[in-house]
Amino acid sequence: MFGQKLYKGGKSNNMKMSIKTCMILGFVSVVVIVFITTLLLSSQVLDTKNIFSVSNILVLCIFIVFSLILALIISRLITFPLKKIEKSMRTVASGKIVDVKHLKNINKFSEIEETIDSYNGMMEMIKKNNFDLNSQQSKTEIILEHMADGVIAFSITRQVVHMNKSAQRLLKIDNSYDTFDKIIKKLESDLDFDKIMYLPNYKSIDMKTVVDDNALNIIFIPFFSNRLTPMGVIMIVRNITENVKLDDMRKEFVANVSHELKTPLTSIKGYSETIMNGDLTYQEIIRFSKVINQEANRMGRLVADLLQLSRFDYKKVSWKKMMFAIDEMAQNVCEKMQLSAKEKNHTLECVVNVKPPHVYADRDSIEQVLVNIISNSIKYTPEGGIIRVYVGSINKDNAYVKIIDNGIGIPQKDLSRIFERFYRVDKARSRKMGGTGLGLSIVKEIIDGNNGTINIRSEVNQGTEVSITLPTK
């Protein structure tokens, strides 16, 4: 899976010795056969009466030389392809399958011709299988290298046989970490390799650790060549930082919801029990009843906000987008909120320098956004403050709304968290003013859902500027 090795060993050497033995025996056999044949032929031309004559010896030498040359030629015809086969097999054994070429048949011996044809067919099949194997291996390596999770494979000898880039990035290691022990030491763990190797029933071991502020979940899984023979261990590294953060946020959210519900319930219970006990004047009963009503309304707003956020989370919001005049909407919202502004002696005005193009968004939800932001400006601006709403166009594709006040402002350290659920800059003041801590979270969800943007700039005791952009198509 993670690479292949071809080994040269006893079988290759034995094959080499067998080929050489065959070549030697073949050569000797040819020489013997040719020599005997030559003697039989020479006997027909020799002078049998004077066997040791010079002429007979000369003729005999000529026939012997001829037989040796003929035997050498025949032997070469037989052994040459065998040598080529031997050389090719050594090339295959070394792993250089690509370099192996087909053999040409240069003799007319049917047995040798069949052997060469069989060899060529075998080499073609080996090349095809090797190509398929390499292709599959390349695909596997590409997948592993592009995985977000880290993957490390260890051999049975604890050596790293494969490590992808994600593993190096997540664990902050390089290729020098080439053994299981080095990597485990890096993780400051005492996990035993053999314990993983011989886990029963193909089970796995997982551990959690932190590397450079990243929470990691690491899984160790043994792998086998068959159901009985262990081959090594696979190590999978997964970044779970976001999951941990989300889990912490869920816990914090539940705690905040519980607290926000508990506070008004406690007030309602206390005041209602006081009323039920009697001994109260009419004015006290009225005052206590108002408190109960206020706290009940507060709970109602909280529940409504939670339900709205829940719809956002589960993608159950159906946006009814249409073209409408954002400047007219801003002017209408300012008029509706003039009464609230006058109660704190604020100046609230809407300024339209250049009429912007119509925007394409959900009209009701955008109105909710403007009401929420202007309401916050009214709440957190001291009496006699100034709140201005500017409307215009950035370009033909986007219009903007800016709400600027000279209120108490927001500290820089809090600006990055201002859209988090239940996050309050001043918790005591926010609860006193009836806020749920969810308003800006809802605003952000609405703007994102309508393909817009929202940004907040603020300085303590200087004021706040909220900028909203919306698409015009």
More confident residue, 450 or 38: 450
Of residues 106, 60, 99, 66, the one with CA closest to residue 83: 106
**Quick one: average pLDDT of 65-85?**
67
* CATH number of this structure's domain 147-239: 3.30.450.20
Average pLDDT of the chain to the nearest whole number? 78
| Cβ burial, residue 180 (10 Å; 0-12/13-18/19+) | buried
**Quick one: average pLDDT of 116-124?**
70
Residue 70: per-residue pLDDT: 66
**Quick one: average pLDDT of 62-78?**
67
- Give the whole-angstrom CA distance, residue 292 versus residue 371: 26
- 409 Rama sector, left if φ>0, alpha if ψ -120 to 50, beta otherwise: left
**Quick one: average pLDDT of 162-189?**
90
* 262: Cβ contacts below 8 Å, ≥ 6 apart: none
Hey, is 137 helix, strand or coil? helix
Q: What percent of the chain has pLDDT over 70?
A: 68
Q: How confident is the model at residue 7 (pLDDT cuts 50, 70, 90)?
A: very low
Task: Judge: domain 244-313, CATH 1.10.287.130.
Answer: yes
Where in the sequence of the chain do the CATH 3.30.450.20 domains occur?
147-239
**Quick one: average pLDDT of 152-158?**
91
Q: How confident is the model at residue 367 (pLDDT cuts 50, 70, 90)?
A: very high
Lowest model confidence (mean pLDDT) among 30-44, 59-73, 231-245, 428-442: 30-44
Residue 457: per-residue pLDDT: 92
Where in the sequence of the chain do the CATH 3.30.565.10 domains occur?
321-471
Of residues 76, 62, 80, 82, the one with CA closest to residue 30: 76
Residue 279: per-residue pLDDT: 80
Q: How confident is the model at residue 223 (pLDDT cuts 50, 70, 90)?
A: confident
* CATH number of this structure's domain 321-471: 3.30.565.10
DSSP for 47-98, please give it: -GGGTTSHHHHHHHHHHHHHHHHHHHHHHHHHHHHHHHHHHHHHHHHTT-GG
Token digits for 380? 């957190």
- Give the whole-angstrom CA distance, residue 460 versus residue 377: 14
* φ, ψ dihedrals at 233, nearest 5°: -135, 135
What pTM was computed for the model? 0.54
Q: How confident is the model at residue 302 (pLDDT cuts 50, 70, 90)?
A: confident
Residue 53: per-residue pLDDT: 59
**Quick one: average pLDDT of 263-279?**
87
* φ, ψ dihedrals at 288, nearest 5°: -65, -35
Residue 110: per-residue pLDDT: 47
Residue 334: per-residue pLDDT: 93
> In this structure, what DSSP letter does residue 317 have?
-
Token digits for 32? 């013997």
CB atoms near residue 25 (< 10 Å): 10
**Quick one: average pLDDT of 362-379?**
92
> What pairs with residue 234 in β-bridges?
153, 221
33-42, 212-221, 307-316: range with highest mean pLDDT: 212-221
Lowest model confidence (mean pLDDT) among 209-218, 239-248, 391-400: 239-248
Confidence check: pLDDT of 20 > 90: no
More confident residue, 301 or 122: 301
